[in-house]
């Protein structure tokens, strides 16, 4: 997991601009950073381990000569975070510099063979074989483009690569296979990047590089070639997000900003209604639905199972993408496989999508426009939540849910449910208006070690999502459980040190959930109940409560009740002195299996 950028500029220094661009990709990795530029004197390099700001404070990353360069933020896969393992990586004679996102699977054997030829490696990374191979071929007389092409024939795995060479001070050659890569086309300035927010300050015109393609950027413009060396006539897409949308806009953290964007994000998501209608008509008869996803997207999928089975009567499974291969041979042409992914680049999900395509119709519900999943699937629904920078998914979860609700309601011809979705933004605004209450509750629980989150039916996935948010950004153990299942084991863990968050909206499951609430209360647990503002019980009989508009019933509750849970984790995280945007060991987009 990493982020790369590169630029070929006219009459401007590249390094300060690369520093700004790469900072926008810090959500893709933040254990090290580096910038390399090139001019008539050769390759220049600055890099180090740590967050961008820390490294920049020490070595002034933006202070390098040259108007062409590449930059990288790293999330370690091969080799610990260290200066040596940071990108860019330089060839032995120092003539080539390379940034890479992805994994070179056969780097061990390539490295051995290069070492036997006398080449020296300075890092433990898989990437370092790339500049060394390029240099080897350039020494034999190939130019940068051809040397990279020869290198690509040898390496196996996934990559988005940007390479510069001392011989071509105004050129970047880039290549892509299974890792995201876009090209930005400015006015006499050209960029490469893993993701659009990196370059939006400079251009909104973007080319999506496809698998197997390579791109040559220089002062004459951009040329993209396919694997057979044919020039490809690529479409230039206009990105509608502006650079400010990818900034914090006054909030302390992206996560809080993104929680606050949920009401407006939903309005955009709802615009997919006609598209979903058309997709359902085009798909025709299906006898089974399979959702495939990871993490938060998996929780959204679980909600889909409850809705589709109960309303449309279509048998529906939910499979973790990393476990998908064990179910693959149960699919057939009458199965619709729905892939849910914020990034559209999650390696486990993409792998499953490639397998499912062989037998079944595939639909991807994705946030990032032009991402790999959108190009692989037969049908695409965009969640339209805008860029999400905080590592923990918030607004994209709600947008995924909205898409799933629209899909299920249209499938089941449930116009009442479909229409009720228009009210969701207002309910969320009401919660955000009293977020101070959640902040106060959070203050009481910053030093506990374990939490439980329980709910029944549609509130069960909400409980799972509440627990996941807590784990990832507060480092407190949180466990989501079906409320009725608690007595079959985990109740043994409950005592006055374990707060239990109970999700108890009005509806059929209310009475039974209250019984489960009483069970944990009787074991001494501090209960934090999330329920209706008309519910007197939760106001008087539990340790803490947060109430939600009484018109929100348990069917639409997943779209609304998760918001206080996001805020609870956010405030606990901040009050513990942590950075909720950058949880340790995690990255926004997991492009390794």
- Residue 94 region, left (φ>0) first, then alpha (ψ -120 to 50), else beta? left
Asked whether position 374 contacts ligand F6R by CB under 6 A, the answer is no
Q: Binding to ligand F6R by residue 392, rule CB under 6 A?
A: yes
Which residue, 142, 134, 58, is CA-closest to 90? Answer: 134
**38 part of the interface to ligand F6R, by CB under 6 A:** no
Q: Which of residues 313-342 bind ligand F6R (CB under 6 A)?
A: 341-342
186: three-class secondary structure by DSSP:
coil
- Written as six digits, the tokens of 121 are 């490696």
Query: Alpha helix locations (H) across 117-238?
Result: 129-139, 144-154
What minimum distance in Å lies between the beta carbon of 356 and ligand F6R?
Answer: 15
In angstroms, rounded to a whole number, what is the distance separating the alpha carbons of residues 129 and 141? 19
β-bridge partners, 532: 548
User: Please, which of residues 168-187 interact with ligand F6R by CB under 6 A?
Assistant: none
Options 166, 305, 588, 589, the catalytic residue: 588
Annotation says 589 is catalytic: no
Q: What is the largest CA-CA distance in the chain?
A: 81
What does the alpha-carbon distance between residue 292 and residue 346 come to, in Å, rounded to a whole number? 11
Contacts 24+ apart (CB under 8 A), 547-551: 548/427, 548/430, 548/431, 548/505, 549/427, 549/430, 550/506, 551/423, 551/427
Contact 193, 5 (CB under 8 A): yes
CB nearer to ligand F6R: give 258 or 263. 258
Stretch that binds ligand F6R, among 291-299, 325-333, 420-428, 442-450 (CB under 6 A): 291-299
- Chosen residue from 259, 393, 470, 514 binding ligand F6R by CB under 6 A: 393
Query: Looking at 2, 7, 547, 589, which residue is catalytic?
Result: 2
Dihedral angle sign, alpha carbons of residues 362, 365, 366, 369: positive
- State the minimum distance, in angstroms, from the CB of residue 74 to ligand F6R: 18
Q: How many residues bind ligand F6R (CB under 6 A)?
A: 15
Q: Per CB under 6 A, which region of 79-87, 197-205, 210-218, 295-303 contacts ligand F6R?
A: 295-303
Stretch that binds ligand F6R, among 25-33, 276-284, 293-301, 510-518 (CB under 6 A): 293-301
- The angle formed by the CA atoms of residues 202, 205 and 206, to the nearest 5 degrees, is 105
Instruction: State which of residues 32, 91, 168, 296 lies at the interface with ligand F6R (CB under 6 A).
Output: 296
Residue 349 engages ligand F6R in binding (rule: CB under 6 A): yes
Shortest separation between residue 92's beta carbon and ligand F6R, angstroms: 37
Residue closest to ligand F6R (Cβ): 295
In this chain, which of 36, 92, 170, 346 binds ligand F6R, going by CB under 6 A? 346
Q: Can residue 590 be called a binding residue for ligand F6R (CB under 6 A)?
A: yes
67 makes contact with ligand F6R (CB under 6 A): no
How far is the C-alpha of 164 from the C-alpha of 37, rounded, in Å? Answer: 8
Q: Is 204 assigned a catalytic role?
A: no
Q: Is 371 in the site for ligand F6R (CB under 6 A)?
A: no
CB of residue 394 to ligand F6R, shortest distance in Å: 8
Nearer to ligand F6R by Cβ, of 71 and 401: the residue is 401
**Binding piece for ligand F6R, criterion CB under 6 A, among 225-233, 292-300, 402-410, 474-482:** 292-300
CB of 165 or CB of 343, closer to ligand F6R:
343
DSSP 8-class letter at 422: G
Residues 190 and 182: beta-carbon distance below 8 Å: no
H or E element that contains 425: helix 424-433
Told to check if 294 binds ligand F6R by CB under 6 A, we report yes
> How many contiguous H segments (helices) and E segments (strands) does the chain have?
19, 24
How far apart (Å, rounded) are the C-alpha atoms in residues 216 and 175? 9
If one asks whether residue 353 binds ligand F6R (CB under 6 A), the answer comes out as no
Provide, rounded to whole angstroms, the least separation between the CB of residue 343 and ligand F6R.
Answer: 3
Give me the active site residues, please.
Answer: 2, 588
Where does this chain bind ligand F6R (CB under 6 A)? 294-297, 341-343, 346, 349, 392-393, 468, 472, 589-590
């Amino acid at each position: 997991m990493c982020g790369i950028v590169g630029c070929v500029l006219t009459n401007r220094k590249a390094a300060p601009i690369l520093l700004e661009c790469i900072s926008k990709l810090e959500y893709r990795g933040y254990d090290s950073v580096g910038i390399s530029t090139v001019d008539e004197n050769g390759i220049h390099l600055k890099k180090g381990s740590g967050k961008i700001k820390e490294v920049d404070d020490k070595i002034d990353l933006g202070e390098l000569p040259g108007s062409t360069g590449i930059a990288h933020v790293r999330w370690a896969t091969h080799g610990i975070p260290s200066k040596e393992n940071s990108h860019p990586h330089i060839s032995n004679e120092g003539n080539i510099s390379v940034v890479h996102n992805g994994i070179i699977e056969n780097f061990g054997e390539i490295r051995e063979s290069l070492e036997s030829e006398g080449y020296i490696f300075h890092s433990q990374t898989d990437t370092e074989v790339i500049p060394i191979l390029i240099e080897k071929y350039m020494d034999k007389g190939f130019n940068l483009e051809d040397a990279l092409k020869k290198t690509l024939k040898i390496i196996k795995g996934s990559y988005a690569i940007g390479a510069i060479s001392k011989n071509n001070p105004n050129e970047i050659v880039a290549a892509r296979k299974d890792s995201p890569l876009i090209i930005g086309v400015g006015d006499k300035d050209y960029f490469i990047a893993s993701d659009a927010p990196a370059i939006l300050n400079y251009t909104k015109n973007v080319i999506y590089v496809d698998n197997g393609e390579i791109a040559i950027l220089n002062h004459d413009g951009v040329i993209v070639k396919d694997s057979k060396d044919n020039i490809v006539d690529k479409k230039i897409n206009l990105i509608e997000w502006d650079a400010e949308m990818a900034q914090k806009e006054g909030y302390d953290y992206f996560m809080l900003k993104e929680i606050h964007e949920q009401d407006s994000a939903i309005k955009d998501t709802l615009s997919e209604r006609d598209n979903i209608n058309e997709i359902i008509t085009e798909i025709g008869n299906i006898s089974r639905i399979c959702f495939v996803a990871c993490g938060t997207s998996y929780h959204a999928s679980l909600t889909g199972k409850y809705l589709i089975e109960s309303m449309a009567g279509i048998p529906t499974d939910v499979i973790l993408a990393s476990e998908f291969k064990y179910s693959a041979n149960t699919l057939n042409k009458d199965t619709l496989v729905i892939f849910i992914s914020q990034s559209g680049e999650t390696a486990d999900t993409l792998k499953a999508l490639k397998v499912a395509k062989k037998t079944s119709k595939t639909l991807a519900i994705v946030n990032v426009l032009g991402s790999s999943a959108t190009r692989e699937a037969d049908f695409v629904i965009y969640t339209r939540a805008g860029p999400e920078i905080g590592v923990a998914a918030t607004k994209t979860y709600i947008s995924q849910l909205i898409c799933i609700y629209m899909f299920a309601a249209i499938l089941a011809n449930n116009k009442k449910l479909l229409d009720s979705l228009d009210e969701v933004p207002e309910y969320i605004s009401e919660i955000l208006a009293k977020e101070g209450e959640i902040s106060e509750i959070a203050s009481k629980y910053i030093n506990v070690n374990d939490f439980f989150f329980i709910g029944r039916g549609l509130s069960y996935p909400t409980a799972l999502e509440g627990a996941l948010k807590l784990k990832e950004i507060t480092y407190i153990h949180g466990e989501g459980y079906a409320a009725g299942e608690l007595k079959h084991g985990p109740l043994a863990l409950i005592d006055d040190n374990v707060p239990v968050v109970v999700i108890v909206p009005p509806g059929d499951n209310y009475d039974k959930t209250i019984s489960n609430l009483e069970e944990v209360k009787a074991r001494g647990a501090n209960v934090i109940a999330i329920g209706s503002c008309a519910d007197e019980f939760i106001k008087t009989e539990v340790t803490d409560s947060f109430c939600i508009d009484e018109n929100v019933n348990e069917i639409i509750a997943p779209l609304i009740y998760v918001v206080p849970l996001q805020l609870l984790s956010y405030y606990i995280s901040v009050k513990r002195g942590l950075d909720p945007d950058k949880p340790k060991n995690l990255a926004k987009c997991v492009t390794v299996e």
